[in-house]
């Protein structure tokens, strides 16, 4: 599920399509630009052949994450997210950049700018720390067993 108007989502879905093709997985893209469309798309997915959902977050989807995780649970669809916040409210798991690290680096950049460094002189950086968060409570509610090896790799397991 994604908002196709978000540049990140457009790029990420192309990568997801490539990965799905490589793994011989049928990928159904659920586009939602409004809150009503989010509900409709999850209902469509649950009535179709969807076995799981990858949620590409943007401001709209992020603000609706509680509703999305609830609807996904009702539809028995495991949901994979980018950020841990969505796992904390009921998503199954997330793998993505550690926002706390990103915010710390942003604060360091602001500090440098306030001390006179020109923004153009600051390097462009990519996230360097990624985290895997798994919600065992959600896995149990969906009747899923998370392999111990995956649990051991997780940065955090929410119980």
CA 48/CA 98 separation, integer angstroms: 33
Q: What is the pLDDT of residue 26?
A: 86
Which CATH code of 3.40.50.2300, 3.40.190.10, 3.20.20.100, 3.30.70.1290 fits the domain covering 7-97+129-158? 3.40.50.2300
Q: Which residues of the chain have pLDDT under 50?
A: none
Q: Chain centroid to CA 47: how far?
A: 22
CA 67/CA 90 separation, integer angstroms: 10
CA 134/CA 79 separation, integer angstroms: 11
Q: Which helix (H) or strand (E) holds 131?
A: strand 130-135
Give domain limits for the chain: 7-97+129-158
Q: What is the pLDDT of residue 136?
A: 97
């Amino acid at each position: 599920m994604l908002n196709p108007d978000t540049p990140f989502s457009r790029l990420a879905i192309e990568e997801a399509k490539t990965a799905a093709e490589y793994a011989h997985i049928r990928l159904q893209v659920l586009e939602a630009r409004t809150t009503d469309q989010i509900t409709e798309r999850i209902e469509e997915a649950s009535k179709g052949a969807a076995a799981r959902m990858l949620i590409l977050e943007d401001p709209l989807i992020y603000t609706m994450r509680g509703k999305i995780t609830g609807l996904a649970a009702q539809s028995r669809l495991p949901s994979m997210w980018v950020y841990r916040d969505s796992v904390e409210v009921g998503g199954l798991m997330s793998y993505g950049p550690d926002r706390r690290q990103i915010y710390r680096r942003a604060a360091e950049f602001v500090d440098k700018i306030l001390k006179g460094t020109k923004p153009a002189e600051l390097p462009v950086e990519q996230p360097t720390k990624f985290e895997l968060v798994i919600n065992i409570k959600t896995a149990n509610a969906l009747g899923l067993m998370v392999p111990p090896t995956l649990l051991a790799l997780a940065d955090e397991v929410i119980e």
